[in-house]
A = this chain, B = another copy of it.
Amino acid sequence: MSDNREKFLLTASALMEKQGYCGTGLNEILEKSGAPKGSLYYYFPDGKEQIASEVALRAGKIISGRIQERTRDQPEAGKAIHEFLYTVALRMEETEFHTGSTITMVAMESVAQSQRINQACREAYGMIIDAFKGVLLNRGMEEAKAVGIAEMIVAAVEGGIMLSRTYQSADYLRRVADHIRQMLDSKIN
């Protein structure tokens, strides 16, 4: 829990979110973090692979945490998730669309690169799916149905983020959010 370790991981997250795993060099992370060069392999003895794994897990924790927090006060599932996704869209605009896809960036490359990173990405996505599932369960949806719908939400949202990133317009994600809300409202039957 050292300060320099934390600084390093934070910078690595930002850079990999923007450029991906292969596109981000250790030297670049070192530079931008301002962390001491000598301590890299002290904190991360397994090198880049370990760093990327921790970046993915960290993102999974943060995002699932945000989902829980920001949906807490809204009793309707559709409205709660819709509001959350709109804040994500806003954040994408504020960060020049270099945000909202840490896990995706690392996950896509990991399949051909590293078993360890791939496993971390699975766990990270698992946390997010579980978070959405929790929102649905708390509003009275039955377990079996909630898992499937939570997966659908994650798929649609990740795709929407990807389109928004490519076209540099958060409206793709917003339309996905609108559709999800509409779907959830109709599923209440």
> Which of A3-11, A37-45, A104-112, A136-144 makes up part of the contact surface?
A104-112
The oligomer's copy count stands at 2
Q: Which residues from chain B contact A151 at a C-beta distance below 8 Å?
A: 163, 172, 175
Q: Is B163 within 8 A of A179, CB to CB?
A: no
Q: Which residue of B lies closest to A183 (CB)?
A: B183
Q: A176 near B: Cβ within 8 Å?
A: yes
> What DSSP secondary structure best describes chain A's contact surface?
helix
Q: Residues of B contacting A97 with CB < 8 Å?
A: 111
> Which residues of B lie under 8 Å from residue A112 when comparing CB positions?
18-19, 23, 98
The CA-CA distance from A168 to B172 in the complex, in Å, is 27
Residues in B whose Cβ lies below 8 Å from that of A34: none
Could you say which residues of chain B place their CB within 8 Å of the CB of A105?
A: 108-109
A19 to B23, CA, bound (A): 11
A166 / chain B contacts, CB cutoff of 8 Å:
107-108, 110-111, 118, 121-122, 125
Interface residues of A (CB under 8 A from B): 18-23, 97-98, 101, 104-105, 107-113, 118, 121-122, 125, 148, 151-152, 154-160, 162-163, 165-168, 172, 175-176, 179, 183
